[in-house]
């Protein structure tokens, strides 16, 4: 008897593509958009898209490295604080008279350094990422608030702040989306089309086995945390320019929104499972829902509840779906077996005749 070890590959490519959780998320986003355009008055207007994308840009950006980190089975709770710290670094260095271009470099290097600290503690000392990044969440936020106190740096030149809010031509799509698309393609190649990315999945499925198959577990994790730090810092720069102010408490609590979006996009918190297009759909779903509900003048409280329910439901659905698959698979196997025995009995009877 030949058992198919990879039942997924027995099906045609289009079915494999369509019957995934990621496609379900994309369909859900499209359905929500269609419903919003049809039934909410101003949703189809030009301003909606601009503000929607501006609002979710930091989450979109940070969700990229966060996906890779969660796929390895780790987590990074400090990204919101890195956004705050890089925003403050940008403000402080610019205020000190450093040219803006160099201030940008300082902010992003600072973020990468934060990520390197996380990476060193987690990858090289082997400490639990949940505990470490709760610590660095407080540490980085504390540094940010300590550097600026209750003051804010707001006198950024318009030429820079415009970069964050300007649109591409007259499309209504903000400029920052170009940076996002470039980064998204880079991360997609890194995760889905490179040896490094296969290593990321291997670590998430079984870190020890990955080590024995030649994946450099420590280096991979370290690089991922540095990337998360640098991208968070870039999001911090965007955040600063968009609102024209560098404050210590910028983007407080952003980490939970990012993680919620990533998990909503179908990444397993246990690691080893999840794809980037699902995550991007997850972030978009949260963005579209919040902006549609806001246009319907539903308050932010209800949006909070909806995000929470979506998060719980999405995690439960993975398990329910898996249980359902197991049930149908065992049912198929049992019917196949009974068929096989039936035909076998028939042929043996024929032989007797």
Partner 1 sequence: MTQLLVAPSRMSTTQRVVTGLLHSREVAIVLVLLAVAAVATAKTSSFLFSANSWRDLLLTPSILILLAVGQAVVIITRNVDLSVGSVLALTAYLTGRLFIDNPGIPIVVVFVAGLAAGAVLGLVNGVIIGYGRVPALVITLGTLYIYRGVVLSWAGSDRINASDLPSGFLSLGTKSVASVPVLTIIAVAVLVVVAYYLHSNRGGRELYAIGSDPDAAVLYGLAVRRRVIGAFVLSGALAGLAGVLYTARYGTVSSGAGTGIELQAVAAAVIGGVAIFGGSGTVWGAAIGAVLLVTINRALPIAGIPDFWQRAVVGALIIGAIVLDRILAARRARKLIEARDDV
The residues that touch partner 1, with contacts defined as CB under 8 A, are: 75, 121, 125-128, 130-132, 134-143, 145-146, 149-150, 248, 252-253, 256, 259-260, 263, 269-270, 299-309, 311-312, 315-316, 319
For partner 1, which is the closer residue by CB, 50 or 252? 252
Distance in angstroms (rounded) separating the CA atoms of residues 192 and 80: 26
Tell the smallest beta-carbon distance from residue 247 to partner 1 (Å).
Answer: 12
Residue 207 near residue 88, CB atoms below 8 Å: no
For partner 1, which is the closer residue by CB, 67 or 136? 136
Tokens, residue 175: 């400029």
Residue 68 near residue 129, CB atoms below 8 Å: no
For partner 1, which is the closer residue by CB, 159 or 319? 319
Backbone angles phi, psi at 167, to 5 degrees: -105, 160
Tell the smallest beta-carbon distance from residue 9 to partner 1 (Å).
Answer: 28
For partner 1, which is the closer residue by CB, 107 or 260? 260
Query: Which single residue is written with the structure tokens 């390895």?
Result: 72
Tell the smallest beta-carbon distance from residue 118 to partner 1 (Å).
Answer: 10
Comparing CA positions, the residue from 49, 27, 63 lying closest to residue 291 is 49
Comparing CA positions, the residue from 230, 246, 224 lying closest to residue 110 is 230
For partner 1, which is the closer residue by CB, 197 or 204? 204
For partner 1, which is the closer residue by CB, 68 or 188? 68
Tell the smallest beta-carbon distance from residue 113 to partner 1 (Å).
Answer: 15
55 contact partners, CB below 8 Å, separation of at least 6: 287, 290, 291
Tell the smallest beta-carbon distance from residue 194 to partner 1 (Å).
Answer: 28
Distance in angstroms (rounded) separating the CA atoms of residues 229 and 110: 8
CA distances from 166 to 162, 239, 241 (A): 5, 14, 11
């Amino acid at each position: 008897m030949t058992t198919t070890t990879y039942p997924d590959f027995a099906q045609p490519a289009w079915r494999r593509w369509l019957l995934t959780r990621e496609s379900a998320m994309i369909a859900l986003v499209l359905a929500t958009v269609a419903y919003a355009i049809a039934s909410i008055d101003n949703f189809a207007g030009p301003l909606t898209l601009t503000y929607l994308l501006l609002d979710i840009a930091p989450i979109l950006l940070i969700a990229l490295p966060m996906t890779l980190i969660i796929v390895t089975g780790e987590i990074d709770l400090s990204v919101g604080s890195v956004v705050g710290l890089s925003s403050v670094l940008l403000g402080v260095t610019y205020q000190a008279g450093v040219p803006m271009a160099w201030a940008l470099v300082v902010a992003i290097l600072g973020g990468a350094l934060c990520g390197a600290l996380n990476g060193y503690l987690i990858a090289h000392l082997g400490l639990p990422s949940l505990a470490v990044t709760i610590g660095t969440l407080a540490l980085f936020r504390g540094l940010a608030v300590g550097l600026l106190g209750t003051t804010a740096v707001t006198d950024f030149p318009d030429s820079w702040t415009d970069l964050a809010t300007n649109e591409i031509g007259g499309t209504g799509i903000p400029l920052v989306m170009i940076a996002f698309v470039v980064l998204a393609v880079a991360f997609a190649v890194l995760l889905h089309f490179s040896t490094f990315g296969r290593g990321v999945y291997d670590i998430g499925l079984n870190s020890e086995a990955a080590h024995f198959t030649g994946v450099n577990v420590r280096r991979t994790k370290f690089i991922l945390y540095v990337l998360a730090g640098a991208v968070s810092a870039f999001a911090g720069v965007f955040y600063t320019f968009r609102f024209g102010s560098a404050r210590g408490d910028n983007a407080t609590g952003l980490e939970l929104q990012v993680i919620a979006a990533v998990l909503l996009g179908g990444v397993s918190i246990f690691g080893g499972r999840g794809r980037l297009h699902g995550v991007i759909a997850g972030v978009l779903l949260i963005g579209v829902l919040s902006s549609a509900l806001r246009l319907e003048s539903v308050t932010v409280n209800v949006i909070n509840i909806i995000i929470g329910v979506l998060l719980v439901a999405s995690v439960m659905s993975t398990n329910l779906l898996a249980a359902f698959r197991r049930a149908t698979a065992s049912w198929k196997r049992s019917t196949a077996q009974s068929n096989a025995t039936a035909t076998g009995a028939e042929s043996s009877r024929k032989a007797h005749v």
